[in-house]
Amino acid sequence: MAGVEARLELYARATRAAMEQLLAAGPPAAYLDDLVADYPRRSGKGLRPALLLACCQAHAGALEEGLGPAVALELLHNSFLIHDDVEDATPTRRGAPALHEVHGVGLAVNAGDALAGLALQPLLDPGRLGSRLAREVVDEFLTMVRLTTAGQALELGWQRDGVTDLATDDYLRMVVRKTGWYTTVAPLRLGAVVGARGTAPLDALTRFGLHLGVAFQIRDDVLSIAGSHERHGKEHLGDIREGKRTLMLIHLLNAAAEPQRAEVVDYLRAPAPARTPAAAARVLELMHEHDSIMYANAYADRMTASALDLFDEAFAAASRPAPLRFIRDLLPYVVERST
């Protein structure tokens, strides 16, 4: 695992250095520059740019060619996070107060807009990629944005309308769009497109990424309620308090009999202030009682196993062993961050 972490850190450092160049460019803007740079400077794992750069290398591409899309992806991810925190009223992000908690909703949303615009800048440099490939890369980004916002809309809509009649398939439909595509599929596809200059087949790679993305998100959801707040920077019981339709919650809604199910439905349909820490803890207690967390972990295990089965086919066109090994070793690292 140490080798994976070391290489992940190298990819992250290269991405951060390039991001800093972008963040430092341009005329200064009051009430904006510090906010725009805030989330990118709160050190995340840099999973997305690492996947992109490693996949680019594995397909015999140059790191310099993958750097622009990697930076764009990371900046766009951070702009999503700013808006996501406002939409979900999340108080903390990566162990510190969320941007809107510090600066107010208006300035935070504006900074998210600016960051999304800044993310497009590296894509405007077709010098390395050429116009054909640059257009393909932009197309990948457009697909990603469309799917991500569609998935987010689905979850926010369920929360607003108090939708509780949901099954595992509904969760899958939502989560592959909301996070799966842009966390794993888009980085892998972008890396392959750039590395192989548009000649690599993408279907098997996409299937691999979808399985991995779902496994990653389920583990992330489990962490939100069962992980260490200090280690992972997540608010304790945050997803339950926000009423997020996680796989664990959907399992509980299907597994619990009355009157427990009604108790959970009432909780989800209550206004946000009524979803107190004590009420959220009661939902967690019911999840434990009905093995919902165990179910989610088992589901993530099966998704990971399927991803591993698909690995060779997904990377049939890749030729460089070191980055390929990194991606393979990254699988258990990504989905077992709970320790």
Partner 1 sequence: MSAHDGSPGESAARLFAQLMAEVAGREVPRLRPDEALRALEDAGDRGLPAAGPQMRAAVARAIDLYADLFRETFSVYADLVDLTATGRGGAAGAPVSMVGARGGEARSPVWLHNQTASPLSDVALRVTDLAAHDGALVAGARGAFSPPVLDIPAGASASATLALPLPAEATPGSYHGLVLASGLPSASVPVLLVVE
Residues near partner 1, by CB under 8 A: 131-132, 139, 143, 147, 168-169, 172-173, 176-177, 198-199, 203, 206-207, 210-211, 214, 251, 254-255, 291, 294-295, 298-299, 302-303, 306
Nearer to partner 1, 71 or 196 (CB): 196
> Least Å distance between CB 133 and partner 1?
10
Q: Helix or strand or coil: residue 132?
A: helix
Nearer to partner 1, 216 or 295 (CB): 295
Q: How far, in Å, CA of 148 to CA of 142, rounded?
A: 10
> Least Å distance between CB 144 and partner 1?
10
- Of the candidates 117, 141, 123, which has an alpha carbon nearest to the alpha carbon of residue 32? 117
Residues 6+ apart with CB under 8 A from 125: 68, 134
Q: Helix or strand or coil: residue 196?
A: coil
- Measured in whole angstroms, how far is the alpha carbon of residue 72 from the centre of its chain? 14
Helix H or strand E encompassing 43: none
Helix H or strand E encompassing 167: none
> Least Å distance between CB 148 and partner 1?
13
> Least Å distance between CB 303 and partner 1?
7
- Measured in whole angstroms, how far is the alpha carbon of residue 114 from the centre of its chain? 20
Nearer to partner 1, 71 or 296 (CB): 296
Nearer to partner 1, 18 or 185 (CB): 185
Nearer to partner 1, 86 or 318 (CB): 318
Nearer to partner 1, 63 or 294 (CB): 294
- How many CB atoms are located within 10 Å of the residue 43 CB? 12
Output 202-207 pairs: Cβ under 8 A, ≥24 positions apart: 204/310, 204/313, 204/314, 204/316, 205/55, 205/314, 205/315, 207/310, 207/314
Nearer to partner 1, 85 or 221 (CB): 221
> Least Å distance between CB 139 and partner 1?
8
Q: How far, in Å, CA of 36 to CA of 222, rounded?
A: 29
> Least Å distance between CB 14 and partner 1?
28
> Least Å distance between CB 137 and partner 1?
14
CA atoms within 13 A on the CB side of 133: 23
Q: How far, in Å, CA of 121 to CA of 313, rounded?
A: 34
> Least Å distance between CB 147 and partner 1?
8
Nearer to partner 1, 173 or 288 (CB): 173
Q: How far, in Å, CA of 334 to CA of 267, rounded?
A: 32
